[in-house]
Amino acid sequence: MKRLLSCFASDFKKMSRDELKQAILASEGRTVLGETVVTAAPLLEGLTNAEVMASFGADLILLNEYDVYEKKVQGLKECDKTIDRLKEMVGRPIGINLEPVDEDATFIEDKLDISKGRKATKETFVEANNQGIDFICLTGNPATGVSNSAILNSINIAKKYYRGLIFAGKMHGAGINEKFLDVDIIERFIDEGADGILVPAVGTVPGVQEQELYNLVKKVKEKGALSISAIGTSQESADVDTIRQFALSNKRVGIDIHHIGDGGYGRMADPENIMALSIVVRGKRHTYFRMSQSLMR
């Protein structure tokens, strides 16, 4: 077994779901996850955002608004095996968001309808499994109406039809006014089979305190799950000093995976912010190792 921060592209190709989880745990809070919206024009013409994020230090790539039936990623020529092709190009594990929409939820803003290929259902879990997607994040985009109860139900379904890692939680309200930093509901997520719990980074969602998050993350670790902090409030396009504050706070809290979202120009984080996040959580040595390695290794 290797730590994820020491892995090459060839290591990722042969990893099982359990080996990937163990590689993240063994990295001791030094894993960076970059997210991008695949339906938007890329930051750089002629490249996918996944390539840019990988080249600036992201270990894991998360595709937002990926429709498992359409299989389109802007910047990548359309093909039937989109995920396989993207893995070849970036040499990283690839995940997608699937959204457990609660049709009965009470909204605090106008509801945004999404395609069936983006919703968390038995059929989309089967399709994600067939496409070789390494992890699924059960969460909600703004105004989509994803609730804790819907996430809980989706975890149960995912465990039956999907073989990769399952991450679950909310990085913001997703259009619903409900408490989502709730120890009881998070414990239930893990008991149902979630491999990782997504929480907002301190300083992103109003009122989230370090001590509160520390206590919650401690409980997550005790139950054997990964913790994922999210910068998902468009602050991924803030200045580098703000990103460094998020990163140091995450370290104090005990986070395993440092997520940086898609709210910048080109619908990905500013590339220098990905690198800054990486340098804070693991230093230049490991950051430059990730940025410089050849996909042939």
Per residue in 267-284, pLDDT (tens digit) is 999 999 999 999 999 999
- Other C-beta atoms closer than 10 Å to the C-beta of 282 total 24
Which two three-digit tokens encode residue 150?
């819907």
What phi-psi label fits residue 112: left (phi over 0), alpha (psi between -120 and 50 degrees) or beta? beta
Q: Structural domain of residue 206, as residue ranges?
A: 4-292
Q: Is the pLDDT of residue 231 over 70?
A: yes
CA 217-226-273 angle, to 5 degrees, is 85
Residue 223 lies in a domain: yes
Give the CATH number of the domain where residue 233 resides: 3.20.20.70
Rounded CA separation 11/77 (Å): 26
The number of domains in the chain is 1
pTM for this predicted structure: 0.95
Q: Is the pLDDT of residue 5 over 70?
A: yes
Work out the mean pLDDT of the chain and round it to a whole number.
94
Rounded CA separation 53/252 (Å): 25
pLDDT in tens, 96-141: 999 998 877 666 666 778 999 999 999 999 999 999 999 999 998 8
Residue 297 lies in a domain: no
pLDDT in tens, 23-64: 999 999 999 999 999 999 999 999 999 999 999 999 999 999
pLDDT in tens, 6-15: 999 999 999 9
CB neighbour list of residue 119: distance below 8 Å, 6 or more residues apart:
98, 99, 100, 101
Q: Is the pLDDT of residue 162 over 90?
A: yes
Q: pLDDT band for 182, please (50, 70, 90 cuts).
A: confident
Report the pLDDT value the prediction gives residue 177, as an integer from 0 to 100: 67
Rounded CA separation 176/173 (Å): 5
Instruction: Give the helix/strand (H/E) hosting 188.
Output: helix 183-192
Report the pLDDT value the prediction gives residue 105, as an integer from 0 to 100: 64
Contact by Cβ (8 Å): 55, 275 = no
Q: Is the pLDDT of residue 180 over 90?
A: no
Contact by Cβ (8 Å): 112, 141 = yes
Q: pLDDT band for 171, please (50, 70, 90 cuts).
A: confident
Residue 189 lies in a domain: yes
Report the pLDDT value the prediction gives residue 1, as an integer from 0 to 100: 83
Rounded CA separation 255/261 (Å): 16
Name residue 229's beta-bridge partners. 199, 258
Residue 111 lies in a domain: yes
pLDDT in tens, 57-110: 999 999 999 999 999 999 999 898 999 999 999 999 999 999 998 877 666 666
Tell whether the torsion through CA atoms of 144, 155, 134 and 61 is positive or negative: positive
